[in-house]
């Protein structure tokens, strides 16, 4: 059996060969950041994201400790892919005809792209170790792991005040994947916090979703509201959503570490036609068949047809662009009551502006 450090080196190389720009190893521990998670859930800051509240048989939140859900796990390999393509940030795009889709969602669904790479690393580890008793699990978002906490302790990046993982060289445009393993591996050093006295992200958030540095009320975050939330969006928060129709990049766009963030040429993360700064009337008029076809294999499917058009109605209402009134009038008659209600709100807002 190779030594812990030989194994760690092998895994780092395998991660790189499998297309991950960054990779590191964290030990399985109950890190201090995990202690805040139950109170965060208790206070309702996760909104309706019930999957975050998954509990084990003893009633403990699965994401608070790997010791309960994967008692065999000794190390967590955290891998990261840069999805930053060479295009403007939302803070540079101000066309009132158009909406904004979060950068991560312009191309193909990252879950489909990262999991095969993790499985490839997993297979290489198993082959290298030739040990029948070796156990591994791979996850992209779906596991009982708070990825960014392990990413910090794996040295991939620090957790910024905006709660994103930030790497000194690549910035915060990172998709994370993890491999839990029963192997005892030599861990990396945790990444030091380099936010310093900066508070740009906290000040830039248009819906005041930050409770303070490193603390997010996800139920107020545009990413949650436009992607995960079903049904009606509270009226008092709609104006703050601006022209974001799927997700939000603002607290990353303003981050100084993203000013010179590395860019990727990976074809799968390049914007599909029309998705970068999309025309709002195009999205508003899109028939369901086109939605299914256009967004096959795209993260946008998560918002569903209803959610995306609800978001488009809000964005039109926030645009100040009277030319959208006819499109909103059509949406007011929509058979989907959620879309129709948001369109009525938007039309009224436009007419008052």
Residue ranges in contact with ligand SF4 by CB under 6 A? 160-162, 166, 195, 198-201, 204-205, 207, 209, 216, 221-223, 248, 250-251, 254-257
To the nearest whole angstrom, how small is the minimum distance from the Cβ of residue 54 to ligand SF4? Answer: 23
Residue closer to ligand SF4 by CB (options 98, 117) is: 98
Residue closer to ligand SF4 by CB (options 200, 301) is: 200
Q: Is 336 a catalytic residue?
A: no
Read off the tokens for 110. 């990252």
Residue closer to ligand SF4 by CB (options 137, 257) is: 257
- Rounded-to-integer distance, Cα 19 and Cα 72, Å: 28
What are the backbone angles phi and psi of residue 292, rounded to the nearest 5°? -65, -40
What are the backbone angles phi and psi of residue 23, rounded to the nearest 5°? -155, 145
To the nearest whole angstrom, how small is the minimum distance from the Cβ of residue 153 to ligand SF4? Answer: 18
Residue closer to ligand SF4 by CB (options 163, 298) is: 163
Q: Which member of 141, 188, 193, 336 is catalytic? A: 141
Read off the tokens for 194. 């380099």
- Rounded-to-integer distance, Cα 280 and Cα 327, Å: 10
- Rounded-to-integer distance, Cα 353 and Cα 351, Å: 6
To the nearest whole angstrom, how small is the minimum distance from the Cβ of residue 69 to ligand SF4? Answer: 28
3-state secondary structure of 162: coil
CA neighbor of 293 nearest in space, from 313, 272, 276: 272
Beta strands in 28-157 (DSSP E): 75-82, 100-101, 136-139
Asked if 310 contacts 339 with a C-beta cutoff of 8 angstroms, the reply is yes
To the nearest whole angstrom, how small is the minimum distance from the Cβ of residue 192 to ligand SF4? Answer: 12
Residue closer to ligand SF4 by CB (options 248, 284) is: 248
CA neighbor of 125 nearest in space, from 79, 156, 62: 79
To the nearest whole angstrom, how small is the minimum distance from the Cβ of residue 204 to ligand SF4? Answer: 6
- Rounded-to-integer distance, Cα 161 and Cα 174, Å: 16
What residue is closest to ligand SF4 based on CB?
Answer: 160
Catalytic residue numbers read 141
């Amino acid at each position: 059996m190779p030594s812990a450090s030989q194994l760690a080196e092998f895994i780092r190389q395998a991660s790189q060969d499998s297309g991950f720009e960054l990779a590191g190893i964290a030990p399985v521990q109950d890190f201090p950041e995990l202690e805040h998670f139950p109170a965060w859930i208790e206070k309702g800051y996760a909104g309706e994201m019930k999957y975050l509240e998954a509990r084990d048989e003893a009633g403990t939140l699965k994401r608070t400790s790997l010791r309960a859900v994967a008692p065999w796990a000794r190390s967590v390999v955290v891998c990261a892919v840069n999805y930053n393509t060479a295009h403007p940030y939302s803070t540079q795009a101000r066309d009132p005809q158009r909406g904004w889709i979060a950068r991560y969602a312009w191309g193909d669904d990252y879950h489909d792209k990262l999991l095969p790479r993790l499985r490839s690393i997993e297979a290489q580890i198993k082959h290298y170790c030739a040990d029948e008793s070796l156990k591994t699990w791979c996850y992209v978002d779906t596991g009982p792991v708070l990825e960014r906490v392990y990413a910090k302790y794996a040295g991939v990046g620090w957790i910024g005040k905006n709660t994103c993982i930030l790497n000194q060289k690549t910035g915060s445009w990172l998709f994370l994947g993890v491999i839990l393993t029963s192997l005892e591996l030599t861990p990396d050093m945790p990444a030091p916090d380099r936010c310093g006295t900066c508070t740009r992200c906290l000040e830039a958030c248009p819906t005041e979703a930050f409770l303070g540095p490193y603390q997010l009320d996800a139920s107020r975050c545009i990413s949650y509201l436009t992607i995960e939330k079903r049904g009606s969006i509270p009226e008092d928060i709609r104006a703050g959503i601006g022209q974001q129709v799927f997700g939000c990049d603002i607290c990353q766009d303003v981050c100084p570490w993203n000013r010179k963030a590395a860019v990727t040429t990976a074809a799968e993360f390049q914007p599909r036609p029309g998705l970068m700064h999309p025309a709002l009337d195009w999205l508003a008029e899109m028939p369901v068949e086109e939605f299914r076809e256009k967004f096959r294999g795209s993260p946008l499917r998560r918002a569903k047809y209803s959610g995306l058009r609800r978001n488009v109605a809000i964005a039109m209402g926030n645009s100040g662009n009277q030319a959208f009134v006819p499109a909103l009038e059509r949406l007011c008659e929509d058979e989907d009551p959620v879309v129709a209600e948001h369109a009525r709100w938007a039309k009224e807002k436009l007419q008052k502006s």
